Structure 1
Amino acid sequence: MLADIDNDEEGSGEKSAADLEAVFDVPVRLSVVLGRTRMPVAKLLKMDIGTVVELDRQVGEAIDIYVNDRLVARGEIVLVEGRLGVTMTEIIKAG
């Protein structure tokens, strides 16, 4: 007979945050993509302080949030105590 390796007491299959404790210290790479653009290397080399780069997004449009190069959420840029931050507005379900 196989042992029940599910540690929850009621056998409901539900997990708590404590069940994930083993992965809390695993580092991941978080990337927030404000937008993208393409340009020739010659134009890139001519850039200087104050150069404006036009991106493919509009002001107020949702930004993409990636964890380890996988799209996980969309969000908005926020200003908190003079620093830029991101607030998640939509979680992308794996599919």
Structure 2
Amino acid sequence: MSKTNPEADLEASDDQLNRAIEELRGVLQEEEQRTGAPERDATTTNPGVILNIPVDVQIVLGSAEMQVSELMALQKGSTVALNRRIGEPVDVVVNGRRIARGEITVLESDPSRFGIRLTEIVTAQKKG
């Protein structure tokens, strides 16, 4: 994923998802032709097809807005102030969409690593 063009990354993620959906449709059509059975929900015919689709998961600690001149002046050791404070929840984003919020935690199994403890699952909003 590109650190310089998040819009292109989102488009690439959507393209991957669209390709996976098209592949799934093809598999379902082939199965229907092979068996003569009507097309059913993908999770009914082959849940592995859906469950094996890769998704991009990002944990967003915060963001910053700066001018290009400030961006160009960044060097090793520079600090960028984010729009969130210590202790505020972080966003869990899948393929460009926020699905949850959580808090940063140290892994019990490996104290040199950290993870996210989910505190809120974002409900899907209906369009239209």
Per the shorter chain, which TM-score range?
A: 0.7 to 0.9
Structure with larger RCO (C-alpha < 8 A, sep 6+): 1
Give the aligned partner of residue 89 of structure 1. Answer: 119
Q: CA RMSD in A?
A: 2.1
Match of 1:22 in 2: 49
- Structure 1 residue runs of 4 or more that deviate by more than 2 Å after TM superposition: 19-22
- Which runs of structure 2 are paired with 1:1-40 in the superposition (5 Å)? 20-40=47-67
Q: Specify the code of the residue in structure 1 equivalent to 2:114.
A: L
Q: Secondary structure at the match of 2:69?
A: helix
Q: Unpaired segments of 5 or more residues in structure 1?
A: 7-14
Counterparts of 1:1-80 in structure 2 under 5 Å?
A: 20-80=47-107
CA deviation vs aligned residue, 1:5-55 (integer Å, no higher than 9, x gap) = 69xxxxxxxx9xxx8433121001111111011111111111112211111
TM-score under structure 1 normalisation? 0.73
Q: How many residue pairs are counted as aligned between the two chains?
A: 81
Once the two structures are aligned, what percentage of the paired residues are identical?
A: 37
User: Could you tell me how far apart the structure 2 residues matched to 1:36 and 1:87 are?
Assistant: 20
Distance 1:20 1:89, change over 3 A: farther
- Evaluate the alpha carbon distance shift between residue 84 and residue 49 of structure 1 in structure 2; reply closer, same or farther with a 3 A threshold: farther
| d(CA) in 2 for partners of 1:52, 1:85 | 22
Structure with greater helix share of residues: 2
Whole-Å separation in 2 of the counterparts to 1:50 and 1:77: 23
